[in-house]
Structure 1
């Protein structure tokens, strides 16, 4: 392996619009495209190959590969501008690398098949907006599209804190400051505290990973800023539970009160194949913080939230995951089998029949 070969492999991945490239000892490079992992016809990688790739990636960022490597998240850019979010890790004593392809341009809501209500949600002057979902289901891309909308529509100072920086933004109507954990700042919570001294209107935190970061995000939203972040949760209810559960039992009632006051919306995502199998689409749950939902959060009546989401479709443009799945089925965009695979509901088929 040499740098020319590595860049050629990555250029092919970028041009073919695959989502991920895997480098692991004993296997050839793997490519993930349209949700499927495909083995390439290249030679199997030796330990020195993956060690070389990891070292090149680290050197690209002005860092060295630590001898005691466990896992590192960073980024890599090709000379032609292609960018990758990179996870370097150790497995079975060897170095492995997974590189996520970052699209060259930040797409808008329409191009990403995201609901237009996201444009209304990001108009909030302050508060907390959370984008959630499993790994690899479009959280970062959705968050980037929301920042694009803000950048184009408002004269704001936007500070992003990312690990690593994924999409590169050019300031348009807004001014954008992008900081990378490990390079520009020590960690999320430290960067959040510093960001409050940067005259921000909007703060984007790549991920709320721990109680300290969650607390810093809550404080930033409480002091008049619009804060956007992500969580690895399935829906609005699990998102609220995750946040509250990060705090000791004696403090959870206060956290529910604070969250009810500042939460603007949760946007939960799953990616799904269309009927042709050729395209990947998002299925989206949207919860907006109405007075009724605020009361549910304050009083711990979270089991009622899904009903309020579904009832708020007409007035507030909210929707549950099942409502979106049923809509896509009725439009013949996806198959019932694919919808049932994604849905957590055991009676999705009955719901589909009932709404037909």
Structure 2
């Protein structure tokens, strides 16, 4: 196969212009270095809607913030339509934090993985449910292979790849992480179980 690259300010004026030009070449995969502005995000969504596989990066803390950041770029009157487009095209969000290894040599990635399941798509579409994405990720570990940052950190800590102090410093919710290490049931456990029930009911549908 062939890889075509465009460098901003050398081959093209900006990201969005390069992306629109790339669509005319019927590419199989498009890599957008970073989705910086409304026009670039709009064109990336259009590319995904027309059947192209699009990869990109965004500087955010986690999957939920990624969704919120993309939507917030657009004016409020357009956000409902953008939520629908995003729900229809988004396949996954993978976020990472580089964590210092316990031996002091190098770093290891703690990864949050969100897969676009039916329930996740519903959370993207519904503004009142977007905040539930993190709990949906935590509840989708066994069935869909998703994981939150704190679940990833706990696994790294359990394997002694990182220290407890480093995990606590990087955790999204240090108090919940501490309780998990101590084997104490927390509100996060209750939230995950409640979310598992909600997802199960959602997947069964209203007529089942």
Class of the TM-score when normalised by the shorter of the 2 chains: 0.7 to 0.9
1 or 2, which has the higher helix percentage? 2
Alignment match, 2:136 = 308
Task: State the shift of 1:352 in Å.
Answer: 2.2
Give a deviation string over 1:93-151, Cα, whole Å, max 9, x none: xxxxxxxxxxxxxxxxxxxxxxxxxxxxxxxxxxxxxxxxxxxxxxxxxxxxxxxxxxx
Tell me, in whole angstroms, the C-alpha distance in 2 between the residues paired with 1:210 and 1:188. Answer: 9
Alignment match, 1:353 = 182
Name the larger-Rg structure: 1
Is residue 99 of structure 2 the alignment partner of residue 266 of structure 1? no
Tell me, in whole angstroms, the C-alpha distance in 1 between the residues paired with 2:23 and 2:123. Answer: 30
Task: State the shift of 1:253 in Å.
Answer: 1.1
Alignment match, 1:299 = 126
Task: State the shift of 1:325 in Å.
Answer: 0.3
Alignment match, 2:56 = 229
Corresponding residue to 1:322 among 133, 136, 150:
150
1 or 2, which has the higher strand percentage? 1
Alignment match, 2:29 = 202
Is residue 65 of structure 2 the alignment partner of residue 238 of structure 1? yes
Tell me, in whole angstroms, the C-alpha distance in 2 between the residues paired with 1:219 and 1:199. Answer: 13
Task: State the shift of 1:354 in Å.
Answer: 2.6
Tell me, in whole angstroms, the C-alpha distance in 2 between the residues paired with 1:234 and 1:277. Answer: 24
Task: State the shift of 1:355 in Å.
Answer: 7.7
Alignment match, 2:40 = 213
Q: Tell me the TM-score normalised to structure 2 length.
A: 0.85
Pick closer, same or farther for the CA change 1:207–1:355 going to 2, 3 Å.
Answer: farther
Tell me, in whole angstroms, the C-alpha distance in 2 between the residues paired with 1:229 and 1:267. Answer: 11
